[in-house]
Amino acid sequence: MRIYATVVYLFLYVPIGIIVLFSFNSGRHASDFRGFSIEWYGTAFSNRWVVEALTTSLIIAGTTAVLATVMGTSAALALQRVKGTLRAIFDGLTLIAIMIPGIVLGISTLVGLVTLFKFANPVIATLWPVVLGAAPKLHMGYATVIAAHTVFTMALVIVIVRARIQGMDRTLIEASADLYATPWGTFRQVTLPLLFPAVLAGFLLSFTFSFDDFIISFFVAGSNTTLPIYVFSSIRRGITPEVNAIGTMVLAVSLTLMVLAQALLRARTAKTKSGQG
């Protein structure tokens, strides 16, 4: 088992290590290591297309993470009050949203949005007051990508938060009610702190999945270019150390977020223990 585990970890992390190593390559080709240099990081930061794509990805991922976390947490709390067949239906729909392949989700979202725009744009043009000028048209852009990512990542948040809810000590909530706390006061002072680790994990997962997504974004991004789409377009012209540098920076940001999340969770756990003491 140790040998098997070692092989699996090597298979997973050696390619990542190679990308990090070759991002410091002073050569012009990704596979031809000529010495250590950080020039490709400067090249990536000075490339306005990379900066624009990164900004687009951060805006989409940040907005998606906030919406998915708020809506997913609310849905998870509401589903706790649903029983029987209706509960099974919602559970199935949630799991289906996670299991559907990205290519299917991307195509179905594209078809649905195109159909909606085809119906809605003429209606808007008819009802729009002439004095306000030309009527706006619905089109692919930030809103469509955020909507598609939110639907997908919200399902992840629901599953994570619900697992946390099922493991909560319900007596604390009942004690809060016995002490005449309002429902909002109980949620703010008892329920939310207990759910915080799951909510934070859902936020980070939503941000990561949205930031890294290529397939769904490729279909519904319109004229916007996210960082994965830019990297894909660059790879089609050949892999350069600049692409490796971009991948390394994305990896560094992801690890930083995970470390910060772990630090927050440990600080909250220590605070809780000291309060109980």
Other Cβ atoms less than 10 A from the Cβ of 92: the count is 10
**DSSP 3-state assignment of 147?**
helix
Residue 152: partners with Cβ closer than 8 Å, 6 or more residues away: 97, 98, 105, 209, 216
On whether the CB atoms of residues 207 and 275 are closer than 8 A, the answer is no
CATH 1.10.3720.10 given to domain 50-269: yes
Distance, first Cα to last Cα, the chain? 42
Each residue's pLDDT tens digit, 76-113: 888 877 787 888 888 888 888 888 888 888 888 889 88
pTM of the complete model: 0.80
DSSP 168: S
Q: Is 171 helix (H, G, I), strand (E, B) or coil?
A: helix
pLDDT digits (tens, 9 = 90+) for 201-253: 888 888 888 888 888 888 988 888 888 888 888 777 777 778 888 888 888 87
Place of tokens 């979202």: 109
Element housing 49 (H / E): helix 48-79
